[in-house]
């Protein structure tokens, strides 16, 4: 257990103040010990993976940051079991090499396997919920290990039970994926190839061309969610605005938006930011909207968390003024009021 550890050293944004306490755990017993320590100190807990989908405030996190280091990878026929802390893209590489279809469009997404389930990660027409069968978790409330089937995870667009109503309750231990030995490339988002390995390589090349290589550009990936709007709202946008179906249709999301099933569409946040509002390159302090992929906010070297948040708010306000659509942040905000 270490004190006052700078979290900027553990995020792909390279931004973030100190954690009051920081500990890495490699198994369930060490996790239980760390949780007991936090309870004894009466401090909040933050479970942290590779820090690829979060913005940590400049003042840090006044609690206990627990960084799991759970390892394991196993292929059994068309089923793959992955421990929570395994690097996701390294797993994707092994899965494609084994000739299994289903995750190739999620290649080169940064972060751990656990993040796949928490965020219901999606890219180029594929979502994690398409291939997740179940998730093994440790329930901090009941102090017990359990399994959540896909239906229990309540997956929606960039949502799950793990980042909404039960956020902070579960620590993911492993994922069980169901894949296929026979399929064809999913080219619904325009990235094309004629083989499984070719599709992975095409996805990686596309992501790199858009500045989504966190070893070259400091960011949390896509900072803006693609908005899901009603047909009525879409009709107010400029002609030619791209649209994609919400697939599969989500009745719970429709209810929240006050729409009937099938009346929701997804529009690219990047189109609103760039083609309608012309915001590429907009900067505040050391934070900038990427000129390669406008939905990425990048740290040019000296950005503070407040720079990033102010830039997000400014871009969101401009988009709202021109389109009536309120964009939402995709990364988790940690340590902010």
What positions carry a catalytic annotation? 158, 222, 330
Here the tokens at position 158 are 């960039």
By CB neighbour count within 10 A (0-12 exposed, 13-18 middle, 19+ buried), where does 15 fall?
buried
Q: Say whether the peptide bond before residue 143 is cis (omega within 30 degrees of 0).
A: no
Give Rg (Cα) of the chain: 20
User: How far is the C-alpha of 194 from the C-alpha of 208, rounded, in Å?
Assistant: 20
Angle (CA) 81-86-88 rounded to 5° is 90
Contacts of 247 (CB under 8 A, 6+ apart): none
Per the listing, tokens 């059994």 go with 76
- 319-328 per-residue burial string, b: 16 or more CB within 10 A, e: under 16: beeebebebe
Are 150 and 122 a contacting pair, CB within 8 Å? no
């Amino acid at each position: 257990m270490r004190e006052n550890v700078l979290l900027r050293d553990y995020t792909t944004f390279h931004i973030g103040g100190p954690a009051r306490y920081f500990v890495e755990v490699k198994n369930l017993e060490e996790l239980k010990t760390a949780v007991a320590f936090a309870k004894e100190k009466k401090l909040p807990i933050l479970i942290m993976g590779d820090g690829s989908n979060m913005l940590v405030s400049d003042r840090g996190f006044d609690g206990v940051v627990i960084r799991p280091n759970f390892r394991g990878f196993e292929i059994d026929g068309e089923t793959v079991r992955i421990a929570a802390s395994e690097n996701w893209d390294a797993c994707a590489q092994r899965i494609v090499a084994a000739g299994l279809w289903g995750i190739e469009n999620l290649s080169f997404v940064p972060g751990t396997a656990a993040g796949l389930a928490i965020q219901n990660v999606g890219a180029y027409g594929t979502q994690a919920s398409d291939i997740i069968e179940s998730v093994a978790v440790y329930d901090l409330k009941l102090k017990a290990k359990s399994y959540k089937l896909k239906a229990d995870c309540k997956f929606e667009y960039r949502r799950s039970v793990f980042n909404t109503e039960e956020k902070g309750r579960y620590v993911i231990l492993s994922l069980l994926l169901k894949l296929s030995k026979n399929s064809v490339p999913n080219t619904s988002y325009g990235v094309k190839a004629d083989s499984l390995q070719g599709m992975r390589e095409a996805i990686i090349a596309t992501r790199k061309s858009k500045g989504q290589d966190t070893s070259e550009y400091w960011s949390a990936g896509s900072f803006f969610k693609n908005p899901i709007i009603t047909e009525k709202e879409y009709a107010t946008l400029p002609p030619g605005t791209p649209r994609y179906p919400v697939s599969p249709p989500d009745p719970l999301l429709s209810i929240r938006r006050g729409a009937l099933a099938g009346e929701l569409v997804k529009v690219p946040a990047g189109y609103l930011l760039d083609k309608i509002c012309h915001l590429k390159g907009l900067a505040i302090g050391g934070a900038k909207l990427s000129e390669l992929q406008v939905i990425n906010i990048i740290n040019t070297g000296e950005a503070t968390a407040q720079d990033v948040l102010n830039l997000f708010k400014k871009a969101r306000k401009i988009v709202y003024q021109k389109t009536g659509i309120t964009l939402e942040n995709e990364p988790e905000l940690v340590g902010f009021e």
